[in-house]
Amino acid sequence: MSESTTEEMNTLGFTSLAEGLQKNFKRVEDVMTDFAKSYEDMDMDPFNLTSAYQEWLASVGSNPQKLIEANLAYMQNATTLYQQSVMSVLGINAEPVVTEEKGDRRFKHDDWAEKPVFGAIKQSYLLASQWMRGMVSDMEGLDEQTAQKVKFFTERYIDAMSPTNFAVTNPAVIEKTLETKGANLVHGLRNMLEDLERGKGQLQIRMTDAEAFELGKNVAVTPGKVVFQNRMFQLIQYTPTTDTVFEKPLLVVPPWINKFYIMDLQPKNSLLRWLISQGHTVFVVSWINPDESYRDTTFEDYMKGGVITAVDVVEQISGVSEINSIGYCIGGTLLTSTLAYMKSKGDMRIKSATFFTTMLDFSDPGELGVFIDQEQISSLEVQMEKDGYLEGSSMAGAFNLMRANDLIWSFYINNYLLGNDPRPFDLLYWNSDSTRMPAKMHSWYLRNMYLDNRLCKPGGLTIDGVPIDVSTIDIPVCFASTVEDHIAPWKSTYAGAQLFSGDVRFILGGSGHIAGVINPPEAGKYGFRLTDGLPDDPDAWASKAENHPGSWWPEWQNWIAPQSGEQIEARIPGSGKFKALEEAPGSYVKARIGVPADEPEQIAATPAATEATPEPAQKEASVKPETKVATDKPEAPAKDDLTVISGIGPALARLLQSKGISSYADLAGKDPGEIRELLDNEGAKYKKYNPSSWPEQAKSLL
């Protein structure tokens, strides 16, 4: 909360508070009325917890001895706590009956340790938590999936019931309420209502001030150019910062479930900027944020129209047919599938692969497995069939549940109970900027990877008629995983690393799925372990792997540099036949949830035919007859293609044509202010476009 807002709160009287509460409760009534109208269409038990807990209750009933022992232990501890609390009130110090785990930040306020009443509240909660955990552990008669689901959601219930989540039992909230005369609760309720309205009845807690960030301005600012785009992705080539570069370029394949700029948040922690500084020519795939028109897009489309097409373009721009690659998370899963496909086709252009937190063997997906079973996938498929895609916020919600205290309840307390406004935080801005998943592709991915675990089985998957066998991949590979990863558990990524037949290096960094990867050397954090040998037992590997301080990035550079070829003159983006279409980070990455995504046409040059290029890839990257390629002296076609102008996609071109702007001459004759007014009249979704340079671009085309 800003200082001015706090001052306002401190000067508010009870009359103002009452008026504020009255207005808020009227909004509550309106929101709940709208929610009630739509509840019949909502799945109130999306995780099938009713069935899971019915099985758990049956298991408890079959073992009454365990229940009796657990209840007796709880009653004994509760009695001891009562006696200790009485002694504390009388001023007699006593050792606590139970303490929170080290690193639990919920109880950091001094009153939890210094005031007996809060000490008793905290310990009562911790004892009840211990009892509940004991009741859902080691239950006989439950299958592994059900047991894991019951444990996971019981833990989430324990998180929700923490006394820190309630105003009357949180000393920090009580302190703030007295300080502001209750105005924090008024402001917090307003924040909650705004989040409910934004989520259309579902509470979508804001984690950061999204208005504080703009892509290309203060996040994702590494200089580069979009040099290619089709309906699946834009390809960004970054501007070199060294006079010479390695001969082999580096292609980065991010996950399609997240946006690539997690690798380029700020200059101080940008992995992409660091890679460039090490002398790599860096190309990054920026996936489209699909809408309902992509409902039938397949995994094969992401592989052939995505990765293989990107390889074709990188080869033509760089002038070499040997490429290094990186895949992040499920981008690595896609890259692995592509490598096996290319191997079967005799395509050997990718000479090394690095995988960040990538699972290939999904037999143990960790806590994420509780969200993936036959019933839940079928439920998702019903929703995706209706919409044509899965909204990214659905997956983000699952990931947030896995770290509920950090990613849900801490913001609940800050925004609603303390009445603070969310603070700017680039990582959380990225975390809230999720993407959609096409219905057909996502269903295929969940079933074939997570549910049936087919990728790790030779020939378990067939893509475009080709059996996929990871064991045929014999290029050097490097896995970089993290010890606290709750999305891709490191032992599962270790199992995937053992599938390859070539040389494999395995690096285990500290921290989790994001912080352990985005760990610049200057930070000097976490440390890592590595070896080139992979024994069957991951614990045996970990016990023998040598520990190293700091970031693993320099160690990876030591591994990749000898495989990157000679030093050559730095390559400048847009200097060849693939001209710059727009500045990095491009327009695809800027499409946010709630904003319709354009369906771009393919903009490409026909790739040079080589023996290493598979025939399907050639067809995928070939140009449609009507497609234009930017050149030094573009010639206007018989019918002007407005999409050649940077910033105008096909949907926008159709709108302009409907308004009488169908040629370069029409556009060149317009003032940018006229175009701005035209767009504003069409609705809020067109405010994102900047027409200031369009007339000049049109003039140059003429």
Q: Are 602 and 578 in contact (CB under 8 A)?
A: no
How many Å apart are CA 498 and CA 471, to the nearest integer? 9
Q: How far apart are CA 443 and CA 380, in angstroms?
A: 8
pLDDT, position 594: 52
329 is catalytic: yes
SS3 (DSSP) at 377: helix
Q: What is the pLDDT of residue 227?
A: 97
Q: What angle do CA 582, 583, 584 make, to 5 degrees?
A: 120
| Beta bridge mates, 250 | 282, 324
Encoded tokens for 153: 């959601």
At 633 the pLDDT is 35
Cα–Cα distance for residue pair 408/424, rounded to 1 Å = 16
Helices 49-61 and 64-89, interaxial angle, to 10°? Answer: 100
CA distance 654 to 682: 13
Residue 672, CA atoms < 13 Å, CB-side half-sphere: 10
CA-CA distance, 686 to 689, in Å (whole number)? 6
Which residues sit opposite 582 in a β-bridge?
Answer: 226
Half-sphere CA count of 579, side-chain side, radius 13 A: 12
Backbone angles phi, psi at 165, to 5 degrees: -90, 5
Q: What is the DSSP letter of 466?
A: E
| Helix ranges, 14-115 (H) | 14-38, 49-61, 64-89, 111-114
Please, are residues 254 and 263 in contact by the beta-carbon 8 Å criterion?
A: yes
Distance from C-alpha of 544 to C-alpha of 101, rounded to nearest angstrom: 29
What is the distance, to the nearest Å, from the Cα of residue 273 to the centroid of all Cα atoms in its chain?
20
In the set 329, 401, 441, 508, the catalytic residue is 329
Sorted by where each begins, the domain ranges of the chain are: 3-198, 224-380+436-569, 633-702
What pLDDT, on the 0 to 100 scale, is given for residue 414?
95
Instruction: Please name the amino acid found at residue 341.
Output: Y
Which letter, b or e, does each residue of 188-205 get, where b requires 16 or more Cβ atoms within 10 Å of its Cβ? bbbbbbebbeeeebeebb
Q: 238 has which bridge partners?
A: 224
Q: Give, in degrees to the nearest 5, the angle at Cα 688 between 687 and 693.
A: 100
Say which CATH topology domain 224-380+436-569 has: Rossmann fold (3.40.50)
Tokens of 59: 């298991």
Note whether 285 and 584 are within 8 A (CB): no
For residues 277 and 644, give the distance between their C-alpha atoms in angstroms, rounded to a whole number.
32
Q: Do domains 224-380+436-569 and 633-702 have the same CATH topology?
A: no
- Phi, psi for 233 (deg, rounded to 5): -160, 160
The count of C-alpha atoms lying within 13 angstroms of the C-alpha of 447, restricted to the half-sphere facing its C-beta, is 15
Sign, CA dihedral 65-71-75-81, equals: positive
Please name the amino acid found at residue 46: P
Residue 489 confidence (pLDDT):
96
CA distances from 18 to 1, 12, 21, 191, 531 (A): 21, 10, 5, 17, 65
Rounded to 5°, the CA angle 428-429-434 comes to 100
In angstroms, rounded to a whole number, what is the distance separating the alpha carbons of residues 630 and 644? 7
Q: Which residues pair with 219 in a beta bridge?
A: 215
Residue labelled with tokens 């049109």? 698
pLDDT at position 18 is 62
Q: Determine how many CB atoms are found less than 10 A away from the CB of residue 556.
A: 21
Q: What pLDDT, on the 0 to 100 scale, is given for residue 13?
A: 55
Cβ atoms of 218 and 264 within 8 Å: the answer is no
Residue 246 Cα to chain centre, angstroms: 30
d(CA 384, CA 613): 35
Q: Based on DSSP, count helices (H) and strands (E) in the chain, helices before strands.
A: 27, 17
CATH class of the domain comprising 633-702? mainly alpha
Q: Name the helix (H) or strand (E) containing 628.
A: none
Between CA 623 and CA 605 the distance in angstroms is 6
Look at residue 689 in the predicted model and tell me its pLDDT: 75
Bridge-based pairing state of the strands 323-328 and 250-253: parallel
Rounded mean pLDDT for each run of 10 residues along the chain, 702 residues in total: 49 57 59 52 69 88 86 92 86 88 93 93 96 88 88 94 95 95 90 84 85 94 97 97 98 95 96 98 97 95 97 96 97 98 96 98 91 89 92 80 90 94 92 92 96 96 96 97 95 97 96 94 94 90 93 97 97 93 96 54 34 34 32 43 72 81 87 86 74 81 72
The angle subtended at Cα 627 by Cα 694 and Cα 315, nearest 5°, is: 100
pTM given for the model: 0.79
CB atoms within 10 A of CB 637: 11
- Contact between 263 and 286 under an 8 Å Cβ cutoff? The reply is no
